[in-house]
Chains A and B, each alone.
Chain A
Amino acid sequence: MIQNTVRILRNDREADLYYRLTLRAPRVAPLIQPGQFAHLRIGFLGEALLRRPFSVFQVADETFSILYKTVGKGTEALARMRPGDDLSVIAPLGHGFTVPQPGGETPLLVAGSYGMAALYLLAQRSPQKGVVFVGGRRSADILCVEEFRALGWDVRVTTEDGSRGEHGLVTRPLIDEVRRQAGGRKLFACGPTPMLEAVGRIASEFGVPAELSMDEPMCCGVGVCLACVIPIRKGDRWEYQRTCTEGPVFDARTIAWDVRG
């Protein structure tokens, strides 16, 4: 974990409401593990004071990038920032994905739209190539498919309106796949919470291990404010754990969805 002022190298619209931000961060970039996040202080935010957390997308030498969607004040202000502008970043943060061991399970990645970003480093650093299931509402929500294919991964696309790939939810082809073969597989997922809950259910139904990257509102990002907690099973009880510190990636079996409501 390092706090640094870093320079924006690129901040371009990828498609629709999605942007790709590349930062020059020579001290931070080499430390980043798959599934970790960066906590950015966005200048020009005025009365909105808090940092915004973003999963790291790609890492290359002295730079790292994030893929974000403009959904509110913070991300809209971020989209207005230009190359040459500086940002304060605290990174890398959080407990990320377990990178598969050589000869270990075949990873099946499950992404809801730009949840793809959080899975890229895992796909790149996994010794086994597997399948990426990506879903979105419509064609515009499907991102970085070519980049995963370039890593040699099989990418299967679903959209809810049928405008690209298979028609329906991302969990449909996933269920078909684990029904065909569950043994020797492991799921890694990032996306909207209802999708993560569905992936958790599929994992438990088919007896497949799964790691889920949880997205919770966050303030400090380093474990002090206790805003981002989720209920985690401990034996026959449960306790709140911090998405920023014990997470964002959790073993699907430990999440107490019934408590979460």
Chain B
Amino acid sequence: MNLSVQIGRLTLRNPVTVASGTFGYGVEYARLLDLNRLGALAVKGIRLDPVRGNPTPRTAEVASGMLNAIGLQGPGVDGFIERYWPFLAGLEVPTIINIWGTTVEEYAEVARRFDALGGVGALELNVSCPNIKEGGAQFGTDPRLLHQVVAACRKATSLPLITKLSPNVVNIAPYAKAAEEAGCDALSITNSFPAMAIDIETRRPRLANGTGGLSGPCIKPIAIKLVWDAAKAVRIPIIGMGGIQSAADAIEFMMAGATAVAVGTANFYEPQTALQVIDGLGDFMRRHGIEEVREIVGSVRIEKRS
């Protein structure tokens, strides 16, 4: 049985990764699970300089999910390399470094810095964070800007490049194509959805930021549709994510067209989820006599009903 998949020239031992922003820098979970069993580990978004993040409250629990507006708090490139990279570089599991900036040049500069570092598995361009004023989603919701930022990073690095697309578009296909044409190797679909919750007693938003990003099982069917739409439009692999809690959820994403998947919000409440997904995926393959996990990808049967 072969669970390995390709993301550009990066080989993942299995298709199960953890989503940026839900797994810190890996070290935080090292005592709770064997990180080396993961297909890949995506770290929290990093820009050039340290970022303080948004005021609190930053999260709110909602039905079958949560809102967050963390604001990409992080140590910046130098702080990350000093504090977290030695640990990550010592793991067998490839690290996907999620990067962002407020300008095309900053994205490219961060990409150059990580290219020079050596040993990085892949870069994931975050063009879809709903919680920051500048940067992030502005690049993910304009196909021309998206093309520019991906092309600039493509020039800056030979590392496998993944673009994390925004769900906040009418049709995801042109964005998926723009990223593919600009030279990226894979797409991450999707990020959290712009959303809001209000405390009716105080009449104030439940997040200090006013609005935030919705994640968790409540977004899964929408995310699967986005993966399905993008998969029809591009040839590059897709990492599907949005509310995955079980192997069954992951398999749905793969059948819709995802080559790999990422466990996100579930890490917060059940840190073993990714490992359970890996085990469950193997069980499913055995039960269905599937030798190559790739056989599942895009295998949804669409029949015309008259």
Binding site for B on A (CB under 8 A): 1-3, 41, 47-51, 88, 90, 216-217, 219-220, 222-230, 239-240, 245, 261
Contact = CB atoms under 8 A, between A and B. Distances in A.
29 contacts: A1-B31, A3-B32, A3-B271, A3-B272, A47-B64, A49-B61, A49-B64, A49-B66, A49-B217, A50-B269, A51-B268, A88-B270, A216-B56, A217-B57, A219-B59, A223-B24, A224-B44, A224-B267, A225-B68, A225-B268, A227-B56, A227-B57, A227-B59, A229-B53, A230-B56, A240-B52, A240-B53, A240-B73, A261-B55
| B interface, over-half SS | loop
A248 to B, nearest CB: 14
A225 B22 contact: yes
A224 B61 contact: no
B70 interface: yes
B45 to A, nearest CB: 11
A10 B198 CA distance: 36
A258 B217 CA distance: 37
B24 A224 contact: yes
Contacts of A41: 269-270
B63 A224 contact: no
A49 B216 contact: yes
Given A220-B28, A225-B21, 5 more contacts: A49-B217, A50-B268, A226-B70, A227-B56, A227-B59
CB-based closest 9 A-B pairs = A224-B24, A227-B59, A220-B268, A47-B63, A219-B268, A223-B28, A47-B64, A224-B28, A226-B70
Contacts of B59: 217, 219, 225, 227
B29 interface: yes
A228 B55 CA distance: 10
B53 A226 contact: yes
Interface string B260-302: 0000011111111000000000000000000000000000000
Contacts of B22: 224-225
B114 interface: no
B66 A229 contact: no
B213 interface: no
Nearest to A244: B28
Interface residues of B, number: 34
Interface in B1-40: 21-24, 28-29, 31-32
B113 interface: no
A1 B70 contact: no
Interface string B65-91: 110101001000000000000000000
Given A1-B31, A3-B32, A226 B268 contact: no
B177 interface: no
Contacts of A3: 32, 271-272
A88 B58 CA distance: 25
Contacts of B268: 50-51, 219-220, 224-225
A58 B233 CA distance: 59
Contacts of B63: 47-48
A229 B61 CA distance: 17
Interface string B150-164: 000000000000000
A261 B270 CA distance: 33
Contacts of B267: 220, 224
Given A220-B267, A224-B28, A50 B272 contact: no
Nearest to A243: B56
Nearest to B26: A224
Contacts of A220: 28, 267-268
Contacts of A239: 52
Contact of B61 (A48, A228, A240): A48
Nearest to A221: B268
Given A217-B59, A219-B59, A240-B52, A227 B271 contact: no
Identify which of B28, B29, B52, B70 gathers the most chain A CB atoms within 10 Å of its CB.
B28
Contact of A227 (B24, B29, B58): B58
Contacts of A50: 61, 66, 268-269
A51 B267 CA distance: 11
B68 A227 contact: yes
A49 B269 contact: yes
